[in-house]
Chain A
């Protein structure tokens, strides 16, 4: 016969105020198999736990029900407490009489009756609990970082410095992401390349880091500590083992196409490295525009290459490797403002450019060697309009959220224009100026001091008149229409997640929200983890943010990965499925419904009447099973069951509820 101890917590006045805890204890003493029931002010406190341990000895209890706050709060605490006693930590059930009872009801009698019912159900369930022991699974001490921007690089560097193997998978031919495109960074105005390229070189040279550029994640299997990731390596047509990156082929290549890295300003050859400081600084051939690969003409690069590193027959390769942890750092992209805002010219006017395009113009290593010129005629602009919140904070036409970094980088752009073009005028149309970081407000003040004119209002229309761009807007502070004739307009467009995030999230089994940002485990308490064990995230894939926050998150994600990879093996929850193979008919429907492919049909020796036969039965891989219980509800004979939530237990709970 079970000897159950019921411990009801007052939680100070949180519970005791609405629920008559003594009445609940009195009622609990009547339930079957209850040997002892008592109440205490703070059950989770040290004295509270000591009192429970004492009662276990005094009354020789063998299972515990604690009526307190939500099991999501202290189930772990009380399980750890039981580790120190003779009772198995899983012979414990928690009745939620705070969040789902005391706090949500006012009528004391009814709340007490509900608390009694919840305790009655927990007592019925704990009666059928069985001692469970955690099992352990080995951990592969390698990490995978998806995305080679500053977030991915920083995370990889920190993990590698801790001594673990890291692989960075980057879909572009070089790591660096968006940061390396920028010219200066706020608020210190130090040159972006000067602080990001050294990190890229470190990553490229770090003994523990393997760079997999022009690669994408094809398939992810397995579970925390034991991921098996298939990586698709797109054809590069250049053998990077032979190539030294001398650059001869790039100079000879006849094809010129707009450079993606430079946001379409300036061109690049078919065999190219995205930018001078690319890591790895070895070129790849773009199959869509290379004359040899498209029309089987030319082939100059193969002829000039001193090391015969060119291989036109290269194809996509798939490699599968094992990893213990995965960090998602897929970064952001700017929204396609042209579709959202036709009133700003919808992309017809070459001089209406995005912030990134301006970064390339003002960047010394950019296509214009840092001279701010109008992409249309190359003349230096005198009057520049910057339009903020293009796509951000706009429910009906764009994104509902604020993209956080544009206020600061627009101020930076204004600062750079006023610096580089003496006598120029910069008009910034804004709704609000948000300067949340350290030194951000002073930076904003300096920009205004430099002469940037902030106009409070939105730009309603931009159209070309002669070679001037007429920006019609409104100044809400003056309360009147404003028209600015500008030589160039910079749009601070909204950020959105990388295009393939839905595909990557699907493969990893993590969820993304309606704006396709990756959903973190808990917005305040677990910002760099996802719901899926072993998968972490950092940077703008989780939401718009600036570089300081991104780097901070990268370090946090790396710390989480190190905490995981530091152990040789990991405890797994024992609340997983198990099969009673004597009753299993081998129909295999549980195999179909398992989200983690944890169940397989195996041949086992068995008996049929008095004959020895080999039977086909289901078998659960305890490492893969995450304990969702879908199989237990699918099995008609109920022979696959979820430990901790067995059919018998839930039936008992339902019965207890309805006496």
Chain B
């Protein structure tokens, strides 16, 4: 099925009647995923957003529960309400990062109720990239910029560039497409020829190799330039660490969860001031190892989707793709066990 590019606003309008539609919107010179409204200008094509769509499912600040001390004290969970949402137009790399997040928050006995509620009620419409940024290297990480296998609906630009071709892949997808009866017509053949400009040769078993490289001298060289800020973790679509803090108003208050970054100096600061990761060398090593090795051990897939946001935004111009190439090429010395 397909619909005219010009009918995009119509499509969004119809969907917006039932769902809250998050679309890539340019506002205040920044393109980010925001609830769609008539006045907003959507930009489907072009480069990916700086802030990843993860804050739709895993918000930057999320109130968890409310409490009151004193005689009529109470504890009351705060549940996200309007969660019937559509994530419209996210790229294959962000889709894959949502898959990773699902593995973390929904599998292995413990299910995160806040994430689960938002994830179940969300329908995801992925959109094949029409243009790859200079720092995109998702192909080298085993992704296809034109297709997101696990999306509810896959949307691509048609071969003739006139319409958007839809392909529903799950019941949620079917249900959604059914809602667009009037606007969509059958047929249409998607254009899936976008290629990444940045290609890196990643060793096949990089995660196993890295597992043996904890004391390898490469870490001294690579981590020297880092300034220990949290930019890479906050623009990364797959970083899911959070901290819990409380906001008190006299006898009342609420507990909230907010993003945290392993690059901050106080992330692993223990009571009494000790810190197992005292300098930025340990912290950056931990971050790279988690992306490229630890996650594999636990969930069997690499946590870096090659979206290139951290490469673009790192103030010290460090580059994880360069590290991947260097680590892949590095030979193991005797000390690596």
Contact = CB atoms under 8 A, between A and B. Distances in A.
A116 to B, nearest CB: 12
Interface string A15-59: 000000000000000111000000000000000000000000000
A32 B278 CA distance: 38
B250 A31 contact: yes
Nearest to A658: B249
Nearest to B278: A609
B248 interface: yes
A36 to B, nearest CB: 14
Nearest to B252: A659
A659 B249 CA distance: 6
Nearest to A582: B273
A223 to B, nearest CB: 34
B279 A32 contact: no
B187 interface: no
A329 B71 CA distance: 63
Interface in B259-311: 273, 278-279
A188 to B, nearest CB: 70
A655 interface: yes
B250 A609 contact: no
Given A582-B273, A609-B278, A609-B279, A32 B70 contact: yes
A655 B279 CA distance: 35
A29 to B, nearest CB: 9
Interface residues of A, number: 11
Contact of B251 (A31, A609, A610, A655): A31
Interface in B68-120: 69-71
Contact of A30 (B248, B249, B251, B278): B251
A32 B273 contact: no
A656 interface: yes
B250 A659 contact: yes
A446 B70 CA distance: 80
Interface residues of B, number: 10
A582 B250 CA distance: 31
Contacts of B70: 30, 32
Contacts of A655: 248-250
Contacts of A656: 250
A120 interface: yes
Contacts of B278: 609-610
Contacts of B71: 30
Nearest to A120: B250
Interface in A637-659: 655-656, 659
Contacts, number: 21
A610 B275 CA distance: 10
A32 B249 contact: no
Interface in A284-328: none
Contacts of A30: 70-71, 251
A610 B251 CA distance: 42
A250 to B, nearest CB: 76
Contacts of A659: 249-250
Nearest to A583: B273
Contacts of A31: 250-251
Contacts of A610: 278
B63 to A, nearest CB: 18
Nearest to A610: B278
Nearest to A124: B250
Contacts of B69: 32
Nearest to B70: A30
Nearest to B248: A655
A31 B250 CA distance: 7
Interface string A595-614: 00000000000000110000
A475 to B, nearest CB: 74
Contacts of B251: 30-32
Nearest to A609: B278
A582 B251 CA distance: 33
Contacts of B273: 582
B265 to A, nearest CB: 11
B74 to A, nearest CB: 14
A31 B71 CA distance: 10
Nearest to A32: B251
Contacts of B249: 655, 659
Interface in A472-505: none
Contacts of A609: 278-279
Contacts of B250: 31-32, 120, 124, 655-656, 659
A565 to B, nearest CB: 46
B7 to A, nearest CB: 51
A655 B70 CA distance: 18
Nearest to B251: A32
A414 to B, nearest CB: 74
Interface string B193-214: 0000000000000000000000
A609 B273 CA distance: 10
Interface in B115-158: none
Contacts of B279: 609
Interface in A408-462: none
A610 B248 CA distance: 37
Interface string A624-640: 00000000000000000
Nearest to B275: A609
A104 B276 CA distance: 58
Give the top 3 A-B pairs by smallest Cβ distance, nearest first: A609-B278, A659-B250, A32-B251
13 contacts: A30-B70, A30-B251, A31-B250, A31-B251, A32-B69, A32-B250, A124-B250, A582-B273, A609-B278, A609-B279, A655-B250, A656-B250, A659-B250
Given A655-B250, A659-B250, 9 more contacts: A30-B70, A30-B251, A31-B250, A31-B251, A120-B250, A609-B278, A609-B279, A655-B248, A655-B249
